[in-house]
Amino acid sequence: MTGLTIAAARTSDAVDAALAGALAAIVGAEHVLTEFEARRAYAHDRLPFANFRERFGKLAGVMPRLAVRPGSAAEVEAIVKLARREKVELIPFGNGSGVLGGAIPLHHEVMVDLRRLDRIVSINPHDAMVTVEAGMNGAVFEKALNEAGFTTGHLPQSIEISTVGGWAACRGGGQASSRYGKIEDMVLGLKAVLPDGSPLEIRPVARRSVGPSVRDLLVGSEGAFGIITELTLRLWRLPAEERGMVVAFPSLDAAWEAARRIMQAELRPTVVRIYDAVESADRTEGLEQFKSSPILAILVFSGAEPVVGAEQEAARRIIESLGGTLAPDGPFHHWKDNRYVAYSQKWQAAGYYNDTVEVTGNWSAIPGMYTAMAAAVRAIYPQIHFGAHWSHVYPEGACQYMTIRLPPMDEAEALPLHARLWEALQTLVLAHGGSIAHHHGVGLFRNPWIKAELGTAHEVLQSIKDALDPDNLMNPGKLGLRPAAGAVDVRHG
């Protein structure tokens, strides 16, 4: 069974007044949201499938019972303790920008909206760390750091619509990941509230050798192992210089090889983006050089002289040895000016079935994986729009970020096609030894494939979940973990 129609939810659904009262005693009545329209805003995140369903008046999941907005870690603790006592299921909510349905209620859970935890606690330039509350908006946070001369280097496309806690909970990646790493490389310490209401603190320290990393149970936890209330992240000085390079490559193979060699030469580009022929064409229209060398790459080097110049020069030599040529910098500026724009919105609004799927592959797997995926999606729907880029590159491999888009059509036809596209892309990445997700997380939409990726490690996660959360109250049914009894099952079509 999938979720309710919105009209049915409006008439059938009752708010639990006693629970609302108990939560109001913790946070104040103005921070307990019980009205239909207020709760409706929490009934979805940015999962495209949920958007497709809502066009036809249906929810992907169900309405939350209510939403509560704590203003401190102590209030979060009190909410979780109350929930444990009363057996109430909770979903931590950052800003709802997740695209895998991680924040979608499946069993009328209570949403714990963390956006009132929105302060920078301290900036410590000497130890190069910043401590921030988990609900702070990403762009507001980064702007405040920039004004003080710093950056975390975590710059996701969704920076303006996401929270710092959401970044960590989803194990996200920003556009400068090739230099600064993903969020898991940045989190030094954190504070969280475990499912039984106990506070957990991982003190920020340069490195430790004290057993397995419990921090990493929370980084990527997607709300299932606790509520993150505070994070301490690495801090960097804002680079003195930033230099964009636009390159025309004769082939994707040459571009991938250049990226591999650049990363394995231990150069530290801030940004590397390689676009396939479909995505290159949009961005290089009218540029002569791309007629014979159709693959676009954008690289950014940053830092201070002489290092930045030397790194750029070493990269140029690698690029040219593979037939790449430097091109006018228009595409770099276009990318930079639009780096935080959500492109999918305009397609969704026009009735298209637009979705993105990001996976990780090692360099040896990427050429075969990309070719197999392009063929598979075109076999499912020959007129599909399919384009890919590789925008997080590492010495070992890269993230392959794909856009799939079906034209407007009836949902009865579109949703099964959409399900087959996901199935093809996720099973092919596993067949090529890669990971089903690079930075968007699992949410609920990747539930069908997480066990195939993690194997016994997924059983370990379930055992830890059972031990920490025996009543299964923290965001049940996400990360492929056991759902609540009677929860809706969001099927792909």
Size of the site for ligand FAD (CB under 6 A): 37
CB of 389 to ligand FAD, least distance (A): 12
Question: How many angstroms separate the CA atoms of 465 and 267, rounded?
Answer: 40
Query: Distance between alpha carbon 112 and the CA centroid of its chain, in Å?
Result: 19
Residue 104 touching ligand FAD (CB under 6 A): no
Binding segment toward ligand FAD, per CB under 6 A, in 326-334, 382-390, 436-444, 465-473: 436-444
CB of 340 to ligand FAD, least distance (A): 8
* Tokens linked to 180: 């600064």
Binding residues for ligand FAD restricted to 40-59, rule: CB under 6 A: 45-46
Residue 361 touching ligand FAD (CB under 6 A): no
Residue 475 touching ligand FAD (CB under 6 A): yes
Of the candidates 131, 163, 270, 360, which one interacts with ligand FAD according to CB under 6 A? 163
Question: How many angstroms separate the CA atoms of 203 and 191, rounded?
Answer: 8
Q: Choose between 27 and 315: whose C-beta lies nearer to ligand FAD.
A: 27
> Angle 456-468/447-454 helices, nearest 10 degrees?
110
Q: Choose between 299 and 479: whose C-beta lies nearer to ligand FAD.
A: 479
Question: How many angstroms separate the CA atoms of 179 and 479, rounded?
Answer: 28
Residue given tokens 């110049």 in the structure block: 309
Residue 95 touching ligand FAD (CB under 6 A): yes
Alpha-carbon dihedral sign for residues 58, 59, 61, 64: negative
* Tokens linked to 208: 């430790």
Binding residues for ligand FAD restricted to 213-272, rule: CB under 6 A: 222-223, 227-228
Q: Choose between 280 and 354: whose C-beta lies nearer to ligand FAD.
A: 354
Of the candidates 153, 173, 269, 361, which one interacts with ligand FAD according to CB under 6 A? 173
Question: How many angstroms separate the CA atoms of 469 and 294, rounded?
Answer: 53
Residue 172 touching ligand FAD (CB under 6 A): yes
Q: Beta-carbon neighbour count of residue 15 at 10 Å? A: 15
By CB atoms closer than 10 A (0-12, 13-18, 19+), residue 289 is middle
Residue 342 touching ligand FAD (CB under 6 A): yes
Q: Choose between 160 and 411: whose C-beta lies nearer to ligand FAD.
A: 160
Residue 166 touching ligand FAD (CB under 6 A): yes
By CB atoms closer than 10 A (0-12, 13-18, 19+), residue 349 is exposed
Residue 315 touching ligand FAD (CB under 6 A): no
By CB atoms closer than 10 A (0-12, 13-18, 19+), residue 356 is middle
Q: Where does 91-176 have alpha helices with state H? A: 138-147, 164-170
Alpha-carbon dihedral sign for residues 471, 114, 176, 187: negative
Of the candidates 62, 68, 91, 187, which one interacts with ligand FAD according to CB under 6 A? 91
Of the candidates 63, 106, 170, 373, which one interacts with ligand FAD according to CB under 6 A? 170
Q: Choose between 133 and 276: whose C-beta lies nearer to ligand FAD.
A: 133
Question: How many angstroms separate the CA atoms of 77 and 196, rounded?
Answer: 9
**Interface contacts to ligand FAD, rule CB under 6 A:** 45-46, 91-99, 102-103, 114, 134, 156-158, 162-163, 165-167, 169-170, 172-173, 222-223, 227-228, 342, 439-441, 475, 478
